[in-house]
Amino acid sequence: MLSAIQRFVPNAVIIALGIGAAAMGAGYGVLGDDGRVGPGFLPTVAGALMAFFAAVNVLTSGRKQTPTLDSVVEEQVPGFHDGEASLDPAGDGGLDIHGRTQRQRDRMLWTVIGIVLATVALVPLLGFMLAFAAMLLVIAVVVERRKIMPSVMVSVVTLAATYAIFVLFLRVPLPQGILGI
């Protein structure tokens, strides 16, 4: 279960964002001539309401743990969502089918996020196809520790299909890097 702090912090962030947006929105002009809706109307109202509902959320969730969609699913289909394991504070519960612990999976997660960010950042340099070829290979070989040959095969087939559909058929001009590919 989420701790009180884990529940509070995201809501606090949303409240702050909502108030900030409402304040900025008000600067755009909420109402114009003879009370007509102005460009700031929706940002102000939506921002204020978002902050309000987040506040309600903090108050009500502290009182009673209402069943959420996911927890209901968990209840109906045991083992379907490993949500409980992922929130295990010890961080070593819930081995998956590859026998990875939660801590290993968290490391994988951040590695994948890092790889995706790096890939997108490298597109102007390497070009779209090359950057994503590298991404597919690195995830398969380094993160998932698959064998080299099948990984290369899967990457080549995927890229060829992508190229055929997007570049040849739909004629999407994917960005090229300094190498011209």
Partner 1 sequence: MLDNLMLGFSTALTFENLLWCFVGVLVGTVIGLMPGLGSTTGIAILIPLTLGMEPVTALIMLAGIYYGAQYGGTITSVLISTPGEAASVVTTLDGYQMARQGRAGSALAIAAIGSFIAAIISLALLMALAPPFAQFALNFGPVENLSIMILGLITVVSFAGGSMSKGLMMVTAGLLISTVGIASGFSQARFTFGNVNLLGGIPFVEVMIGLFAVGEVLHQIRVGAAAPIRARFKDMVISRKELTNSMPSIFRGSFIGFLLGCLPGAGSTLASFLSYGVERRFSRNKHNFGKGAIEGVASPESANNAAANANFVPTLALGIPGGGTTAVLLGAFTIYGLQPGPLLFEQQPTLVWGLLVSFFIGNVMLLVLNLPLAPVFAQMLRIPYAYLYPIIILTSLVGAYSVSNNMFSVWLVVIFGLVGFFMKELDLPIAPLVLGVVLGPLLEKSLVQTSALGQGNFMIMFQSQISVSILSLALLLAVGPWLIGRFKSTPSDAKELTHV
Partner 2 sequence: MTKVSKVVGITGICAAGLLALTGCGASTAGAAQGQAFTPKGDVTMVVPFGAGGGSDLSGRAIAAGLEDIAGVNINTENREGGSGAVGYASFLAQDGKPDHLLATETAMLALPLTQDVPFTYESFTPIMKLGDDYTLLTVSPDSPHRTCEDVVKAAGSGRVVAAVSGATSLDQIVFTLIEQEEGIKFDRVPYESGNEVVAALLGGQVDVISVNPGEVLGQLEAGTLKPLCALADKRYELEALKDIPTASEQGIDVSFAQFRGFIAPGNITAEQKQYWIDAAKKFEQTDGYKKYIADNVLQPNAVYGDDFKTYLAGNAEDLAKVLGK
Residue 155, SS3? helix
Q: How far apart, in Å, are the Cα atoms of 164 and each of 133, 138, 161, 168, 181?
A: 15, 23, 5, 5, 15
Give CA angle at 9 (7, 10), nearest 5°.
Answer: 80
Tokens 């081995």 correspond to: 95
Please select the residue that binds partner 1; options are 122, 134, 152, 166, rule is CB under 8 A. Answer: 166
Q: Which of 21, 26, 134, 152 binds partner 1 (CB under 8 A)?
A: 21
Of 59, 109, 120, 181, the one binding partner 2 (CB under 8 A) is 181
- Rounded CA-CA distance 61/137 in Å is 43
Q: Is residue 12 part of the contact set for partner 1 (CB under 8 A)?
A: no
Residue list 144-173, contact with partner 2 (CB under 8 A): 171, 173
3, 4, 62, 67: residue in contact with partner 1 (rule CB under 8 A): 67
98 forms part of the interface with partner 1 (CB under 8 A): yes
Choice between 1 and 179, CB closer to partner 2: 179
Interaction between residue 30 and partner 1 (CB under 8 A): no
141 DSSP 8-state letter: I
Footprint on this chain of partner 2 (rule: CB under 8 A): 171, 173, 178-181
